[in-house]
Amino acid sequence: MNAEQLRRTLIALRDRMKESQRSIRDGAISDAGLRAIGKAPTNFAEQASDEQEIDLMAERLTASSDTLADIDEAIGRTEEGHFNECEECGKEIGERRLAIKPWARLCVSCQRKFEKEDLS
Ligand SMILES: [Zn+2]
Global pTM reads 0.66
Cα of 11 from ligand 1 centre, angstroms: 24
Q: What is the pLDDT of residue 1?
A: 74
Cα of 117 from ligand 1 centre, angstroms: 15
Query: 5 pLDDT exceeds 60?
Result: yes
Cα of 15 from ligand 1 centre, angstroms: 28
107 to each of 28, 56, 68, 86, 96, how far by Cα in Å?
37, 31, 20, 5, 11
Cα of 114 from ligand 1 centre, angstroms: 10
Q: Work out the pLDDT band at 83, boundaries 50, 70, 90.
A: confident
Cα of 29 from ligand 1 centre, angstroms: 42
Q: What is the largest CA-CA distance in the chain?
A: 59
